[in-house]
Structure 1
Amino acid sequence: MRYSSMLSWMMTAVAGLAWLPMMPFLPPWPILSAGALVSLLVAFFCRSSGRRSALGLFALFLLCSAWSSAYCQSRLDQWFPASLAGEEVVLAGRVIGPLEKRGGEARPYWRFDFQLLPGQCAQHYCPPGQPRFRLNLYQTPVIEPGGLWRLRLKLRPPSGTRSPGAFDYARWLMANGYSGTGYVREILRPVSGSVGIAGHYNHGRSSMLDGAADDLSRYRHHAVMRALLFADRRAMDNEHWRVLAATGTSHLMAISGMHIGIVLAWGMLLGRCVSAMGHGGRRGLQLIAATGFLAALLYAAMAGFSLPTQRALIMAGVLCLTLALARQQSSWSALCLALLLILLVDPLSVHSAGLYLSFGAVAILLSVAQDRRWQGHPWRLALVAQLSLIIALAPVLTAWGFGLSAVALPVNLLAIPLLALVIMPLLFAALLLSPFPEISHAVFGLADAVLELLMSGLAWSAELSPLWWPQGGELAVLLGLAAAGLMLLPPGLPGRVLCLPLLMLLLFFPSARPALGSALITVLDVGQGLSVLIETAEHRLLYDVGPDFDSGYNSADAVVLPYLRKRGVGALDRLVLSHGDRDHSGSADALIEVVPVNELLSGEVERHRRFAARDCHAETPWHWDGVSFAFLPTGAAVSDNPNNRSCVLTLAIDGRQVVIPGDIESLVESRLLASGALQGEVSLLLAAHHGSRSSSSLAWVKTFNPEHVVFTASRFNRYAHPHHAVVQRYARQGSQCWQTGMTGSLQFILSGEGVSMIDPPAKRFFWQHSPIEMCAGEDSPSR
Structure 2
Amino acid sequence: MNYVLCAAASVIAVISVRYHLEWTGFLLLLGGCLLHVSKKRVIGSVLAAAMFLFFLCLSSYHSHHSQSSLREGAFTGRGMMTVHPVTDGDRFSARIRLDNHETVALRLLIPNEAMKQKLQTIKGGMSCQVKGMLEPPLNSTIPNGFNYKEYLEAQSIHWILSSSSISNCMTGSSPEAALLNWRSEGLMLILRYFSPESAGIVQALIFGEREWINQDTEKAYQRIGLTHLLAISGMQVALIAAAGRFMLMRMGLSRETSALLLFILLPSYLILAGGSPSVVRAVLAAELYFLFLLLKWPIHPLNLLSLLFLLWLASSPLNLFLAGFQLTFIISFCILLSAAIFNTFSGRIHVQNLFLTFLSMISTMPLILSSFWEMSLLSLIVNFFYVPYYSFILMPLSLISFFMACMKIPFWQGGIRIADLVIDWTNRITEFIAAADPFLLNMGKPSSFLILCYTAGVIYCFWSMEKGIKKTIGAISLLAGLLIIDFILPYIDPNGSVTFLDVGQGDCVVIELPYNKGTYLIDTGGKIVFQEEDAEWRHQREKKRLSDYTLLPYLSSKGISRIDTVFLSHADQDHTGEYLNILNNITIGELIVPGGFVRDQTDRILIEKTVQKGIAVKTARGQQVIKKAGINFQVLWPLKWSESKNEDSLVLRFSLGGKRWLLTGDLEKEGEAFMLKTDQQMNIDVLKAGHHGSKFSTSSDMLERIQPSAAIISAGRKNRYGHPHLEVLKRLKQEGVKTLRTDTGGTIQFLFNGKTGTFINHPPYDVVNPGSKKNRD
Is there any run of 5+ residues in structure 2 with no aligned partner, and where? 31-39, 530-538, 608-616
- Provide TM-score, normalisation by structure 2: 0.80
Mapped contact 1:223–1:235 kept (Cα < 8 A): yes
For residue 647 of structure 1, what is the aligned residue in structure 2?
650
**Against the structure 1 CA distance between its residues 324 and 444, is the aligned structure 2 distance closer, same or farther, given a 3 Å change threshold?**
farther
- Provide TM-score, normalisation by structure 1: 0.79
For residue 361 of structure 1, what is the aligned residue in structure 2?
331
Mapped partners of 2:667, 2:308: distance in 1: 58
User: Does 1:211 find its partner at 2:189?
Assistant: yes
Mapped contact 1:692–1:723 kept (Cα < 8 A): yes
> Given the alignment, which residue of 425, 428, 441 partners 1:468?
441
> Given the alignment, which residue of 675, 689, 692 partners 1:690?
692
Q: Secondary structure at the match of 1:593?
A: helix
**Against the structure 1 CA distance between its residues 293 and 267, is the aligned structure 2 distance closer, same or farther, given a 3 Å change threshold?**
farther
Is there any run of 5+ residues in structure 1 with no aligned partner, and where? 40-48, 103-107, 120-127, 778-783
Counterpart AA for 2:136: P
Counterpart AA for 1:574: T
User: Does 1:571 find its partner at 2:557?
Assistant: no
> Given the alignment, which residue of 446, 451, 460 partners 1:486?
460
Mapped contact 1:289–1:324 kept (Cα < 8 A): yes
**Against the structure 1 CA distance between its residues 71 and 160, is the aligned structure 2 distance closer, same or farther, given a 3 Å change threshold?**
same
Counterpart AA for 1:14: V
Counterpart AA for 2:434: A
Mapped partners of 1:469, 1:12: distance in 2: 34
For residue 388 of structure 2, what is the aligned residue in structure 1?
417
> Given the alignment, which residue of 299, 307, 315 partners 1:329?
299
> Given the alignment, which residue of 114, 133, 141 partners 2:117?
141
User: Does 1:458 find its partner at 2:430?
Assistant: yes
Mapped partners of 1:469, 1:707: distance in 2: 37
Deviation digits for residues 730-749 of structure 1, max 9, x if unmatched?
A: 55666554433555434324
Mapped partners of 2:340, 2:744: distance in 1: 49
Alignment of 1:348-747 (within 5 A): 348-371=318-341, 372-401=343-372, 403-432=374-403, 434-435=406-407, 437-438=409-410, 440-441=412-413, 444=416, 447=419, 451=423, 454-455=426-427, 457-465=429-437, 467-471=440-444, 473-474=446-447, 475-489=449-463, 490-492=465-467, 496=472, 497-506=474-483, 509-510=486-487, 512-513=489-490, 520-536=497-513, 538-548=517-527, 551=540, 552-603=543-594, 605-607=597-599, 608-612=603-607, 614-618=618-622, 620-633=624-637, 637-640=641-644, 642-652=645-655, 656-673=659-676, 675-682=678-685, 684-701=686-703, 703-715=705-717, 717-719=719-721, 721-723=723-725, 726-727=728-729, 730=732, 736-741=738-743, 743-747=745-749
**Against the structure 1 CA distance between its residues 309 and 545, is the aligned structure 2 distance closer, same or farther, given a 3 Å change threshold?**
same
**Against the structure 1 CA distance between its residues 569 and 56, is the aligned structure 2 distance closer, same or farther, given a 3 Å change threshold?**
closer
Mapped contact 2:746–2:763 kept (Cα < 8 A): yes
**Against the structure 1 CA distance between its residues 138 and 750, is the aligned structure 2 distance closer, same or farther, given a 3 Å change threshold?**
same
Deviation digits for residues 480-509 of structure 1, max 9, x if unmatched?
A: 322321221152289752332323423662
Counterpart AA for 1:317: E
Query: Cα distance, 1:445 vs. partner?
Result: 5.4
Q: Single out whichever of 445-454 and 624-633 deviates more from structure 2.
A: 445-454
Counterpart AA for 2:213: M
**Against the structure 1 CA distance between its residues 690 and 340, is the aligned structure 2 distance closer, same or farther, given a 3 Å change threshold?**
farther
Deviation digits for residues 226-273 of structure 1, max 9, x if unmatched?
A: 3322334454223422432343222222235453344345445667x5
Counterpart AA for 2:755: E
For residue 343 of structure 1, what is the aligned residue in structure 2?
313
Counterpart AA for 1:506: L
Mapped partners of 1:244, 1:634: distance in 2: 45
Mapped contact 1:617–1:631 kept (Cα < 8 A): yes
Mapped contact 1:531–1:543 kept (Cα < 8 A): yes
Mapped partners of 2:412, 2:633: distance in 1: 68
Counterpart AA for 1:482: A
Mapped partners of 1:370, 1:769: distance in 2: 53
Mapped partners of 2:111, 2:278: distance in 1: 29
Counterpart AA for 1:368: S
Query: Cα distance, 1:534 vs. partner?
Result: 1.3
Query: Cα distance, 1:53 vs. partner?
Result: 10
Counterpart AA for 1:206: S
Q: Secondary structure at the match of 2:466?
A: coil
Query: Cα distance, 1:694 vs. partner?
Result: 4.2
Mapped partners of 1:678, 1:266: distance in 2: 80
For residue 59 of structure 2, what is the aligned residue in structure 1?
68
Mapped contact 1:165–1:401 kept (Cα < 8 A): no
Mapped partners of 1:570, 1:367: distance in 2: 37
> Given the alignment, which residue of 122, 129, 138 partners 2:102?
129
* Total equivalences in the alignment: 718
Mapped contact 1:472–1:511 kept (Cα < 8 A): no
Counterpart AA for 2:387: I
Deviation digits for residues 729-777 of structure 1, max 9, x if unmatched?
A: 55566655443355543432456634434798534xxxx65899x9xx9
**Against the structure 1 CA distance between its residues 749 and 654, is the aligned structure 2 distance closer, same or farther, given a 3 Å change threshold?**
closer
Counterpart AA for 1:620: Q
Counterpart AA for 2:467: G
Counterpart AA for 1:318: L
Query: Cα distance, 1:175 vs. partner?
Result: 3.4
Mapped partners of 1:747, 1:55: distance in 2: 50
Q: Single out whichever of 418-427 and 292-301 deviates more from structure 2.
A: 292-301
**Against the structure 1 CA distance between its residues 55 and 361, is the aligned structure 2 distance closer, same or farther, given a 3 Å change threshold?**
closer
Alignment of 1:301-320 (within 5 A): 301-306=271-276, 309-320=279-290
Mapped contact 1:166–1:401 kept (Cα < 8 A): no
CA RMSD of aligned residues (A): 4.2
Q: Secondary structure at the match of 1:185?
A: strand
- Aligned-residue identity in percent: 22
Mapped contact 1:691–1:726 kept (Cα < 8 A): yes
For residue 84 of structure 2, what is the aligned residue in structure 1?
98
Q: Secondary structure at the match of 1:248?
A: coil
Q: Secondary structure at the match of 1:327?
A: coil
Q: Secondary structure at the match of 1:370?
A: helix
Mapped partners of 2:54, 2:499: distance in 1: 43
Q: Single out whichever of 52-61 and 193-202 deviates more from structure 2.
A: 52-61
> Given the alignment, which residue of 170, 182, 203 partners 1:226?
203
Mapped partners of 1:75, 1:628: distance in 2: 53
Mapped partners of 2:173, 2:657: distance in 1: 70
**Against the structure 1 CA distance between its residues 458 and 599, is the aligned structure 2 distance closer, same or farther, given a 3 Å change threshold?**
closer
**Against the structure 1 CA distance between its residues 251 and 184, is the aligned structure 2 distance closer, same or farther, given a 3 Å change threshold?**
same
Mapped partners of 1:457, 1:212: distance in 2: 23
**Against the structure 1 CA distance between its residues 625 and 441, is the aligned structure 2 distance closer, same or farther, given a 3 Å change threshold?**
closer
Counterpart AA for 2:520: L
Query: Cα distance, 1:686 vs. partner?
Result: 2.8
**Against the structure 1 CA distance between its residues 644 and 450, is the aligned structure 2 distance closer, same or farther, given a 3 Å change threshold?**
closer
Q: Single out whichever of 56-65 and 296-305 deviates more from structure 2.
A: 56-65
**Against the structure 1 CA distance between its residues 582 and 330, is the aligned structure 2 distance closer, same or farther, given a 3 Å change threshold?**
same
Q: Secondary structure at the match of 1:437?
A: coil
Mapped partners of 2:481, 2:246: distance in 1: 42
